[in-house]
Structure 1
Amino acid sequence: MNFALILFLLLVATGVLWLFDRFHARKLRPAGAPAPWWVEYGASFFPVILVVFGLRSFVVEPFKIPSGSMIPTLLVGDFILVNKWNYGIRLPVINKKIIDIGAPQRGDVMVFRYPADPSLDYIKRVVGLPGDRVEYLNKRLRINGETVPLESAGSYLHPDRLYYSPQYTEKLGEREHAVLIERDAPAFVPQVMNFPQRGNCTYTSAGVNCTVPEGHYFVMGDNRDASSDSRVWGFVPEDNIVGRAFFIWFNFSDMKRIGGFY
């Protein structure tokens, strides 16, 4: 469901009713006569929808975490906020950038339209920038030939399944974040899709080696062995970017999760 399109159509419909009532219909009504219910409701909803549409399109957009690919940073059921202007101002519905403010950085948690099906929104961590050479071999991440720092951080207890995963602290740029890497899971990438610019990647039994095309990004989930990401379906085009996720504003199961994250 394209909620932005639905909201836009509601905005247009209620806006037309508001304009019709403001500049035409009320002049024809007898003094003190009420407006027809369809005009009154449409005109009264217009300011509310206008504010919601403006905030959601240009400031922040809510998003619910649907899967466990970003555990332990984000859990299934987290409600988060996505900064819509951090990477530039985009026209709503068509997602066309009109004002360039900034670009994704390594370590950002980014929401984007899934390249294989743009009607779906995905969330992953930015690992590779345009022009980067990204290697994930034998479960160690290297960018442009340099190994990304990784330190053991004990074990992570999955609250829903009651089992432990090895947890590590990874540093991308100046940012540290937690990742889960299963020791017994295979290093190779299974079920690779035939994505655009697949020739930029080399797959072996040890993992994958990719050169990120210009205008694209390489993303991965923090739950490394339970994430379908750029290793599987390829690079994220600049035009698919929605915004930078930055805040958990609610979780029905755990109110203590409310707060910011990286």
Structure 2
Amino acid sequence: MDIDIGFWLSLALLITVVVWCVDRALKLKQKGGAVGSAVETSNSLISVFFVVLVIRSFIVEPFTIPSGSMLPTLQVNDFILVNKFAYGLRLPVTNTKIIETGEPERGDVMVFKFPENRNQNFIKRVVGLPGDKIRIRDNRLFINDELVSRNVVREVDNGRYWQSEYIETLGGVDHFIWQEGKVNPFTGKKVSNMSIDGEWTVPEKAYFVMGDNRDNSNDSRVWGIVPEGLVMGEAFLIWMHWKPVLSLPSFSRNGAIDKVEAN
């Protein structure tokens, strides 16, 4: 997930703060308060950026979704918020955990640094926890030799081929996934036909992750586990959907990211 919305929001904030500070300084000078205005402006600037740094580093950070690997849960151009405090308080830059606040659980939608390119951020669903044995056979998921429950909901035409939409249950959490489809007899569209069978044992301080769009996701089935040190936080909210230039922002998808307790 190549996500840089935080940079652009920070840049926009910087421009806004600079404009405000310049305007404030000019008004003070006009009122005969030029003495000390530079110090006041500097203090204001530092205070604002300190607050922004704390919020983005330790509490919540915005991201955008550039691909369909998490469909149908997350769509391309969804703007989301990530809870940076969910899995521990971490130092900026090094991402070293200094305070324990929680651990990823099965079913969580997790943001992490891509193990093969740590300058790139990925978002996937947590499937395997430390010590778990993961097995995939004929597109069916087994965790510790137990078949993961799923129930078909409908057939989905994604524009290129048909896929089956299921409700899957992970760790007591229901969520939607897309997987192998069937040929539509009327349109003749091809089915999605990705199948990666294999077995993995998740080591300590690591996680096995998969995209909800199971046939179109570059995840642990391809490149392996996510070390705990690369975990960034838990995605919890969609706050806007916007395809820049081509449309206006939409708030119809606003709300908590699907994570419904199973009945």
Both proteins in one fold, TM over 0.5: yes
In 1, Cα distance between equivalents of 2:120 and 2:41: 32
In 2, Cα distance between equivalents of 1:221 and 1:90: 25
Structure 1 stretches of 4+ moved >3 Å:
1-4, 31-37, 39-43, 161-164, 183-189
1:143 corresponds to which letter in structure 2? Answer: I
In 2, Cα distance between equivalents of 1:227 and 1:156: 17
State the match for 1:197 in structure 2: none
State the match for 1:176 in structure 2: 174
In 2, Cα distance between equivalents of 1:63 and 1:117: 18
| Cα pair 1:87 1:104 within 8 Å, conserved | yes
| Cα pair 2:6 2:63 within 8 Å, conserved | no
What root-mean-square deviation, in Å, do the aligned CA atoms of Structure 1 and Structure 2 show?
Answer: 2.6
The answer for unaligned runs of 5 or more in structure 2 is 18-31, 182-190, 243-248
State the match for 1:212 in structure 2: 202
Shift of 1:255: 2.2
Shift of 1:71: 0.1
2:253 corresponds to which letter in structure 1? Answer: R
Matches within 5 A, 1:163-242: 164-183=162-181, 184-189=191-196, 207-242=197-232
Shift of 1:2: 11
> Do the aligned partners of residues 230 and 86 (structure 1) sit closer, same or farther apart at CA in structure 2, a change above 3 Å counting?
same
In 1, Cα distance between equivalents of 2:72 and 2:6: 28
In 2, Cα distance between equivalents of 1:74 and 1:139: 21
Structure 1, residues 68-91: CA drift from partner, whole Å, max 9, x if none? Answer: 000000000000010111111111
State the match for 1:142 in structure 2: 142
> Do the aligned partners of residues 232 and 162 (structure 1) sit closer, same or farther apart at CA in structure 2, a change above 3 Å counting?
closer
SS at structure 2 position matched to 1:250: strand
Size of the aligned set, in residue pairs, is 220
Q: What is the aligned-residue identity percentage?
A: 48
Shift of 1:241: 0.4
State the match for 1:84 in structure 2: 84
State the match for 2:151 in structure 1: 151
In 1, Cα distance between equivalents of 2:80 and 2:33: 47
Shift of 1:54: 0.9
| Cα pair 2:60 2:84 within 8 Å, conserved | yes
Shift of 1:44: 2.7
State the match for 1:19 in structure 2: none
| Cα pair 2:6 2:61 within 8 Å, conserved | no
SS at structure 1 position matched to 2:215: helix
In 1, Cα distance between equivalents of 2:140 and 2:211: 14
State the match for 1:248 in structure 2: 238
Q: TM-score, normalised by structure 2?
A: 0.76
| Cα pair 1:138 1:187 within 8 Å, conserved | no
| Cα pair 1:137 1:187 within 8 Å, conserved | no
Matches within 5 A, 1:33-72: 33-34=34-35, 41-72=41-72
1:222 corresponds to which letter in structure 2? Answer: D
Q: TM-score, normalised by structure 1?
A: 0.77
The answer for unaligned runs of 5 or more in structure 1 is 15-30, 190-206
Task: Indicate yes or no: 2:256 matched with 1:260.
Answer: yes
In 2, Cα distance between equivalents of 1:215 and 1:68: 28
